Structure 1
Amino acid sequence: MFFPPSTSRRVLKHSRVISIEAYAREDNLWDIDARISDTKTNPTQLASGVRPAGEPIHDLGLRISINTDFDIVDAQAVSSRHPYPGYCNAITPDYTKLVGLNLLKQFRHEVQVRLGGNRGCTHITELVQILPTAALQAFAGDVLKINDVATGSKPDAAMQQQTKQPFQLDRCHALKLDGGAVATYYPRWYKPASAI
């Protein structure tokens, strides 16, 4: 996404980078690796000392292993850079509390119960919150079939037998059931506003 030019002169001071990568494993599980990094363009005085410009204040990660039903079967958190050595990183073993949760069933609520506030690391828990949509995107077209009988395409036998609404429909503004995208690309599932 490209933003329009700023109307004012700006100076970069802080950068937060979040990355998520999904890996299909040979044992039919998936690993979702999430990482968050914060850097500043100037030396920063922390309670634990000065952090040089460009050196991460935070460099944190979380790997969850999930099955194709979105159940978390393993979780590992890492904290390689943090402002309070010996304290920030002490919480990483607690992220095994994610094991047994399902990314699509009351997940965000359960995360807050288990790891919210001072029961976890604010930044790692932020990463946890975006895992459901990341996993859905990872599975789209591979584990989950995203196609329906779209206009102009010839349905295959599996599509003709499909009786379950595609997972992505009615989960965002663009794919609301009474919207133009559904009417165009998923006509079988289109419902006029008066029918909803």
Structure 2
Amino acid sequence: MPLSEPAAREPIHTREVTCRGFRRADGLWDIEGHLTDVKAYEFTTEQRGQILPGDPVHGMWIRLTVDDSLTVRAVEAVTEKSPYRTCGAVLPNFQRLVGLKIATGWTRAVKERLGGVQGCTHLVELLGPVATTAFQTIYPILAREQAAKAKSGETGEAMLSTKRPVLLNTCHIFDSNGEVVRKNWPDHYTGGTEKAAEAAD
């Protein structure tokens, strides 16, 4: 269900964020983010001059190349549009992401390396949805392939349900006491009287 009918209003600002994930032929993954900020009115900036309605104030791209473990192997960042001519001067700092793993602590690690004057506010913000997109791109494919191998007997690893799911307790749907976990990852289900008793021991 969409939002309710709004009050009478006029458009002022639109931010669009697009993230896309790709599997590369060399076995790595490219995760790309694109951010634009657009005003509905004309205005003038000190360095760029006149900006017309629809002309992005900010237009920025970032590509993270990661491996199966979600470790960053390469970074490319581009400032296509910005209000100041020197905004792009900070882009080399984004190479500091190489070697980081997209996992718990990602946001903190990014801010340690690129926070404040060390980075670009908008590109740093973009790294949040890019990280989520990396997970959404990679995890389902690898999980499906691992399940297929286990089913066919190609691997001696335990079935997926015996490993702690990455999604466990990340939101209310994946609550370890909930029905989704009970059905999909019974080894990690903590709801119900029997499981609760086991957990208490």
TM superposition score normalised by structure 2: 0.84
Identify the residue that residue 81 of structure 1 maps to in structure 2: 81
Identify the residue that residue 93 of structure 1 maps to in structure 2: 92
Q: What are the Cα deviations for residues 106-163 of structure 1, in whole angstroms up to 9, with x where unaligned? A: 3221211110011100000101133332111011321234999xxxxxx946797332
Identify the residue that residue 27 of structure 2 maps to in structure 1: 28
Residue 190 of structure 1 pairs with residue 174 of structure 2: no
What SS class does the counterpart of residue 143 from structure 1 fall into? helix
Identify the residue that residue 53 of structure 2 maps to in structure 1: 53
Amino acid aligned to 2:56: P
Give the distance between the partners of 1:67 and 1:108, measured in 2 at CA: 19
Identify the residue that residue 144 of structure 1 maps to in structure 2: 143
Identify the residue that residue 104 of structure 1 maps to in structure 2: 103
Identify the structure with the greater helix proportion.
2
How far apart are residue 59 of structure 1 and its match?
0.3
Query: Are the aligned partners of 2:32 and 2:130 in contact in 1 as well (CA < 8 Å)?
Result: no
Give the distance between the partners of 2:159 and 2:173, measured in 1 at CA: 25
What SS class does the counterpart of residue 10 from structure 2 fall into? coil
Q: Give the % identical residues.
A: 28
Identify the residue that residue 181 of structure 1 maps to in structure 2: 180
Unaligned runs of 5+ in 1: 149-154
Query: Are the aligned partners of 1:146 and 1:168 in contact in 2 as well (CA < 8 Å)?
Result: no
Question: Residues 160, 101 of structure 1: CA spacing in aligned structure 2 closer, same or farther, 3 A cutoff?
Answer: closer
Corresponding residue pairs, total:
188
Query: Are the aligned partners of 2:19 and 2:129 in contact in 1 as well (CA < 8 Å)?
Result: no
Give the distance between the partners of 1:63 and 1:38, measured in 2 at CA: 19
How far apart are residue 173 of structure 1 and its match?
1.4
Query: Are the aligned partners of 2:97 and 2:110 in contact in 1 as well (CA < 8 Å)?
Result: yes
Query: Are the aligned partners of 1:147 and 1:166 in contact in 2 as well (CA < 8 Å)?
Result: no
RMSD of equivalent CA atoms: 2.4
Amino acid aligned to 1:88: C
Q: What are the Cα deviations for residues 16-51 of structure 1, in whole angstroms up to 9, with x where unaligned? A: 000100110011000001010000111123222221
What SS class does the counterpart of residue 118 from structure 1 fall into? helix
* Bigger Cα displacement from structure 2, 160-169 vs 96-105: 160-169
Identify the residue that residue 170 of structure 1 maps to in structure 2: 169
Identify the residue that residue 16 of structure 1 maps to in structure 2: 15
TM superposition score normalised by structure 1: 0.86
Amino acid aligned to 1:133: T
Unaligned runs of 5+ in 2: none
What SS class does the counterpart of residue 61 from structure 1 fall into? strand
Amino acid aligned to 1:59: G
How far apart are residue 185 of structure 1 and its match?
4.0
What SS class does the counterpart of residue 56 from structure 1 fall into? coil
